[in-house]
Amino acid sequence: MRIITLIENIKDDSNSLINEKGLCLYIEKDNKHILFDTGRTGSFIYNAEKLGINLREVDAVVISHGHGDHGGGLISFLKINSKAKVYMKTEASKAYYFHCMLFNKNVSISSEFFREYSSRIEYIEDFTEIMKDIYIITDINRYYEIPEGNKYMFIKKKSKLVRDKFQHELIMVIKEKDNISIFTGCSHNGTANMIRTAKSKFKDSNIKAVIGGFHLVKIPIVKSLTASKAQIDVLINEIITSNVEKVYTGHCTGEKAYRKLKAALGDKIQYIKTGTEILI
């Protein structure tokens, strides 16, 4: 399986790619081509062209949750790709906000996408195999606390903002023989919870990799504030006890939290910048 990070918060200065706060992963497995999230804008399309990736061949798009930095590039993508279905939970179509003191920002996926491209959307509400060996887990069990940064995230219900419970988030799992790879977008439900949930669905499988953002930035607009040592230790312990072979992370994990994970996990973990290619 080949995975290329088409969009992430940072990039190497040595390349001419575009980076932005968001996430988009391009995945090739057998003869299937998948996008996991689409970043904040259509910039991932430019990066794909630079990297020699033909996005017209993409067979499916999986949207991890209903925030615009993960589904913001959908309209641009669907204008150039006429065949891919977009898989997401129904709740991903709702209105979401980041709210902190007097600061209030709509962080939803564009309503235009849901109006103009409804025929391309497949809403998934149960554990589903969307393509051979490609699974969506919709119900995420909470064995541990969820990230602290979630307290700034809200959903609009009627005219009121209420705390988001992240029912719009899903997990994608790709199975290869006796191995699984777990894909997370932002892990608002907690990465340790997502690993353990996936493990409960695939009891006889080894976890080859966990890939995605871990939402360990305490306040998304303040990079220096990160999750507590206790929460990071919970994740480290889950990775070790679950015998996860490799961890690839970036985006909302935050560079400070990543350094703490790196100190504990060593070569087991790698940061995936814009343009990073990995083979699993």
Q: Are 66 and 93 in contact (CB under 8 A)?
A: yes
pLDDT score at 103:
85
pLDDT digits (tens, 9 = 90+) for 177-204: 999 999 999 999 999 999 999 999 999 9
Query: Among 53-62, 84-93, 247-256, which is the least confidently predicted range?
Result: 247-256
Percent of the chain with pLDDT over 90: 89
Provide Rg for the chain, Cα atoms: 17
Number of structural domains found in the chain: 1
| CATH code, 126 | 3.60.15.10
* CB neighbour list of residue 165: distance below 8 Å, 6 or more residues apart: 155
pLDDT score at 151:
92
pLDDT score at 190:
97
In terms of residue numbers, what domain contains 206?
2-279
Q: Which pairs from 110-113 meet CB under 8 Å and 24+ separation?
A: 110/68, 110/71, 110/72, 110/74, 110/75, 112/75, 113/71, 113/74, 113/75, 113/78
Q: Minimal CA–CA distance to 162: which of 99, 205, 81?
A: 99
pLDDT digits (tens, 9 = 90+) for 115-167: 999 999 999 999 999 999 999 999 999 999 999 889 999 999 988 999 999 99
SS in 3 state form for the chain? Answer: CEEEEEECCCECCCCCCCCCCCCEEEEEECCEEEEECCCCCCHHHHHHHHCCCCHHHCCEEECCCCEHHHHCCHHHHHHHCCCCEEEECHHHHCCEEEEECCEEEECECCHHHHHHCHHHEEECCCCEEEECCEEEECCCCCCCCCCHHHHHEEEEECCEEEECCCCCCCEEEEEECCEEEEEECCCCCCHHHHHHHHHHHCCCCEEEEEEEECCCEEECCEEEEECCHHHHHHHHHHHHHCCCCEEEEEHHHCHHHHHHHHHHHHHHEEECCECCEEEC
